[in-house]
Amino acid sequence: MEKTVSKAIEYRRSIRIFKDIDLDINKVKNCLFNASLAPNSSNLQLWEFVHIVDKEIMKKLFPACMNQNAAKTANQLVVFVTRKDLWKSRAKSNIDFLNKSFDENPKVNTEKRRKTVLFYYKSLVPTLYTSFFGILGYIRYFIFQIVGLFRPIYRQARLSDSRIVAHKSIALAAQNFMISMAAIDYDTCPMEGTDTLRIKKILNLPSGSEINMVVGCGIRSEKGIYNKRFRVPFDEVYSQY
């Protein structure tokens, strides 16, 4: 029986050492499907989940993961990859889906609403994601700052801002994955300390992709949790207005 969300969150720990036990590949894949349901910016879904089950490929990745025990003892690995370079095709997918939805439910989805949402994907998204070596981003940024003197406006208009947005979105997906794994008594360890360039070469990933994190997957060893969980007092991070 799967854990509740709260129990899964409580159970999840970053496991540094895994037992030599095989995971069900399809169960891990199902957890990655849950990752694909995560909220993300503009529903562009600028991500890919690379599920590594081939032991030879895993061995090649170990040095790129700095030979961390969480990688070396893992039964499987998942590489979370941002694909900001796919924004055009993902925007088109949204447009196609929305047009079909409007055609199927004309009473609920009015033409005025269709025009509004299509304008978003056909005009606003290209405005934010089109870049010429980052120059257009700075032009947008300064224009938006000036407009912002007179009214509220979205200000994250630079190339670096859109990269941050893509990484935030896939981090939400990774959290979905890890909580889903915890719910079925599977363990994970997210790793940021990696040689992302080597990982991209090993996996033959395109130049426009970026590694967000590598997650080791397995069953926790008794030695897999190095310390008790520590969090700063909740009152230090919580505020209410």
Q: What is the domain partition of the chain in residue ranges?
A: 5-83+175-221, 87-160
Position with higher pLDDT, 181 vs 116: 181
- Is residue 91 scored above 80 in pLDDT? yes
Per-residue pLDDT, averaged over 186-203, amounts to 97
- For the stretch 128-148, pLDDT in tens is 898 877 777 778 878 888 888
pLDDT at 37: 98
- Is residue 157 scored above 80 in pLDDT? no
CATH superfamily of 5-83+175-221: NADH Oxidase (3.40.109.10)
Position with higher pLDDT, 23 vs 103: 23
The pLDDT mean for the chain works out to: 94
Percentage above 90 pLDDT, the chain: 78
| Cα separation, 237 vs 131, whole angstroms | 36
pLDDT at 128: 87
Position with higher pLDDT, 107 vs 9: 9
- For the stretch 22-59, pLDDT in tens is 999 999 999 999 999 999 999 999 999 999 999 999 99
pLDDT at 113: 86
- For the stretch 50-63, pLDDT in tens is 999 999 999 999 99
